[in-house]
Amino acid sequence: MDTCITVWHWPTQERWFDEGIRTSLDLVRHAGFTHINWNPDAGSSYWMADAEIEFTRRIVAEAGLKVHSVHSTNGRNTVSELIGPVPFTFESRKDIRSPHEWQRLSGVELLKNRIDLAAAFGAPNIVLHVDISDDVFRSPESETKFFAPLYRSLDELLPYCLERKVQIAAETLLDASGGSFLKLYDRLFSRYEAAFIGLCYDSGHWELLEPGGLTVLERYGNRLIATHIHDNFGAKDNHLLPFDGRLDWNAITKAIAATDYVTPLNFETPMDRYGVPDAVFYHRAHAVAARLEEMIATARRKIGE
C-alpha cells in the first residue's frame, strides 16, 4: 500500500540539508512510507542550483522513496521566508502576482526552479500558494488588478509545465473566506486546462473556512491532484494527525474516493506537534496513513458495486 508524508527541514544537525534530511528520509522509509511531499525551502525565495537539485534527487532515490508532490514557492510566505529585525528585510522580490514586471518575472523564474526540481524527482505536481483576500472580489476593477499579473505569469508557465509534465496544484489557504477561494478556483479552472493546473485540497485549512463542509471537493473534485491531510479542532491550524482532532474522516475519504484523485494521500503533519521521538512519530503516522488509504479503497469499491 502506497503512503505519503511531508518531509520537513529540522536543523538539528550541523549539516541539516544533507545529514539532517537523509536522517529524516531514512526514518520515513523505515516507518513504511513509500512517497514524500518535498517541503524544504517551501515558500522561500531561495534558489536551488542545478547541483543541489541533482543531489536532492539522488538522496531521495537512495532512500528508496518517490516524490508525490513538491511544495513550491511564490516568494511571499511570511512563515518560511526570511524575516529580519526591520520590515525591508522581508524578501518578496520574486512574486508572480506583482504588478511590477521585474518582480513578476523574477517570481516566474523562481517557480520554474521548483518545476525543475519536481521534474528531476519525477513528481507529477508542485503545490502553489495563491494568496488572495476577500477584497479581490469587491469590484470588477479590484479583480482585474489582482488577476492580470497572475494570469500573465501562469500563461508563461503553462508551456514550461506541459513540457516537463508537472502540474500546478493551487492550495486552499486561510487568508480569505471559502467563498473567495471557490471564486479563485472557478477563475483558474475555467481559464486553464486540467493538464496544467488543478486543486490541492488542504483538509485542515478547509475545515477552518467551512466547518464540517466539503464544498471545494464537491465542486472541484474533478481537478483534485494533490492533498495536504491533517486535523484540527476548528479553532486554529494545528496540523495534527488525522483522528487527533475533530474532522470527519469518513466524510472526507468518501468525498475524495468519488474523485479521480491518484492516491496516496499526503500527510502534512509536522512532528513538532508531538513530544515523541522522530521514529515513534513516523510509525504512528504511517499506521494512520494506512488506515485512511484503506478507507479510500473501501469507499471506491462501494462506488463500483
232: domain CATH number is 3.20.20.150
Which residues have CB under 8 Å from 91's CB, separation 6+? 44, 45, 75, 81, 82
DSSP state letter for 99: S
Can you give the pLDDT at residue 89? 46
8 Å CB contact between 223 and 263: no
Rg (CA), the chain: 19
d(CA 214, CA 195): 24
Burial of 23 (0-12, 13-18, 19+ CB in 10 A): middle
Torsional class of 96: left (φ above 0), alpha (ψ -120 to 50), beta (otherwise): alpha
d(CA 144, CA 266): 34
Condensed to tens digits (0 to 9), the pLDDT of residues 171-193 reads: 999 999 999 999 999 999 999 99
Can you give the pLDDT at residue 230? 98
pLDDT under 50: residue ranges of the chain: 83-89
**pLDDT exceeding 90 applies to what percent of the chain?**
84
DSSP state letter for 269: -
- Torsion angle (degrees, nearest 10) of CA 77, 79, 85, 89: -20
Can you give the pLDDT at residue 73? 87
Can you give the pLDDT at residue 43? 78
- Cα separation of the two ends of the chain: 22
**Reported pTM:** 0.94
Can you give the pLDDT at residue 90? 54
Can you give the pLDDT at residue 76? 66
The β-bridge partners of 128 are 170
Burial of 76 (0-12, 13-18, 19+ CB in 10 A): buried
* The three three-digit cell numbers of residue 56, written as one number: 536532492
Task: For strands 4-7 and 125-128, give the pairing.
Answer: unpaired
Can you give the pLDDT at residue 179? 96
Can you give the pLDDT at residue 197? 98
* The three three-digit cell numbers of residue 113, written as one number: 526552479
Q: Give the chain's domain count.
A: 1
Share in percent of the chain as helix, strand, coil (round to 5): 50, 15, 40
Helix ranges restricted to H, 192-277: 203-209, 215-220, 249-257
Domain of residue 73: give its range: 4-304
